[in-house]
Amino acid sequence: SQTIHQWPATLVQPVGSPLSLECTVEGTSNPNLYWYRQAAGRGLQLLFYSVGIGQISSEVPQNLSASRPQDRQFILSSKKLLLSDSGFYLCAWSVGGSGYEQYFGPGTRLTVT
């Protein structure tokens, strides 16, 4: 069966510090991968998606970037965090090609102070 991991689970970072969040998927090959942010009491905002290694598309231009160095690894980064980057970050995967259902990881709660 497929499993998706995210770490760290929680993170408190000062403004201006760098960020690296990691997501890995097990039990599937060539998945589509997604990064979402969920602000308190709000819906999910798609940040980035990837259909293959090295292929990243951005939905919302902002202070974040994403990379996919391996087939089942997706990384969300920032060089300098802003207060507005605080939120609940979720990684998701779907079957590459025809899979519309997305499966989410446990999330990383980021607080920028």
Partner 1 sequence: QKEVEQDPGPLSVPEGAIVSLNCTYSNSAFQYFMWYRQYSRKGPELLMYTYSSGNKEDGRFTAQVDKSSKYISLFIRDSQPSDSATYLCAMSAPGGYNKLIFGAGTRLAVHP
Q: Which residue has the tokens 């929680």?
A: 10
| Contact status: 49 vs partner 1 (CB under 8 A) | yes
Q: Which residues pair with 61 in a beta bridge?
A: none
CB-CB neighbours of 30 under 10 Å:
12
First to last CA, the chain: 38
Q: Which is nearer to partner 1, 12 or 15 (CB)?
A: 12
| Contact status: 24 vs partner 1 (CB under 8 A) | no
Q: Which is nearer to partner 1, 15 or 39 (CB)?
A: 39
Q: Which residues bind partner 1 (CB under 8 A)?
A: 6, 32, 41-44, 46, 49, 51, 57, 88, 90, 94, 98-107, 109
